[in-house]
Amino acid sequence: MKIAQAKIKQILLDGSLWLDCPSDLIPAPGQYVLAHKPASDAPLPVSLFNIDFNSNGFRCAPPIPLDWKPSDVITLRGVFGQGFSIPASAKKIALIAYEKSYARLQALIPLALKQNAEVVVVSDTKEIDVPEIIEIQPMQLLGEVLSWANYVAIDIARENLNQLKEKLLEQNQASPKYEAQVLIHTSMPCGGVAECAVCALTLNHEWRMICKEGPVFRLQDVL
């Protein structure tokens, strides 16, 4: 695990921010780093996911703490967790944002386009910022998109997992034929280092730590 200082370069209107940091603290899609502002009253670090990156750092998905401002220096630790991996054969890719923002899935778009895949984002959020080539569909058409896709990435909060299961059952997708991964997000204050169990999840009657064994899991293991 690496620890380093990072500087907030810019805060954007959508609530994301650009951080200047060493390149080995830039998380791959689905992985995260833990961040803490030394001068802050907040007792716990927050997990930051990558939307985009360049040679100087990366753009973090919202939400970010309200007291973070441009030029603030924060401490980063990481990189933690298991990220997404798009199969090289995937040519029809669905990104399903179960929550309001699809930002934690956004870093998959350049990877998908690089392997000449078609990409559909499924979300009920208005005014999603995607390249023109990307199609956007409402959650109402989830079943159709799942029948079309051969790789699916989902972003969902831990507390909404049961809703997702019910929705997939409704769509006859409880035993999916496509490759699918799900990013389960929740508070992950220690990244597995202190085994605090704040991020625990029961899967098949066993406790799993989202921070370490996830946050990206195979959908089949979660259903």
Interacting residues toward ligand FES by CB under 6 A: 188-192, 194-199, 209, 211
Q: How far is the CB of 56 from ligand FES (least distance, A)?
A: 28
**How far is Cα of residue 54 from the mean position of the Cα atoms in its chain?**
18
Residue with tokens 């998959």: 108
Q: Which residue is nearest to ligand FES (CB)?
A: 211
Query: Which CB sits closer to ligand FES, 59 or 77?
Result: 77
| Residue 145 vs 209, nearer CB to ligand FES | 209
Q: Cβ of residue 200: shortest distance to ligand FES, in angstroms?
A: 7
Tally of CB atoms within 10 A around 87: 13
Pick 142 or 211: Cβ nearer ligand FES: 211
Instruction: Tell the smallest beta-carbon distance from residue 193 to ligand FES (Å).
Output: 7
- Cβ 122 to ligand FES shortest distance, Å: 28
For residue 186, the one-letter residue type is T
Q: How far is the CB of 198 from ligand FES (least distance, A)?
A: 5
Rounded Cα distance between 42 and 20, Å, is 22
Nearer to ligand FES, 113 or 198 (CB): 198
Q: Where are the alpha helices (DSSP H) in the chain?
A: 103-106, 108-114, 142-148, 161-170, 210-213, 219-222
Give the whole-angstrom CA distance, residue 102 versus residue 110.
14
Dist CA 158 CA 124 (whole Å): 19
Write down the residue that tokens 């009657």 correspond to.
205
Query: Of 135 and 221, which has the nearer Cβ to ligand FES?
Result: 221
φ, ψ dihedrals at 59, nearest 5°: -100, 125
- Rounded least distance, CB 21 to ligand FES, Å: 21
Nearer to ligand FES, 25 or 34 (CB): 34
- What distances in angstroms separate CA 200 from CA 83, 111, 163, 164, 194, one per listed residue? 18, 30, 18, 18, 13
**Cα angle vertex 166, ends 161, 171, to 5°?**
125
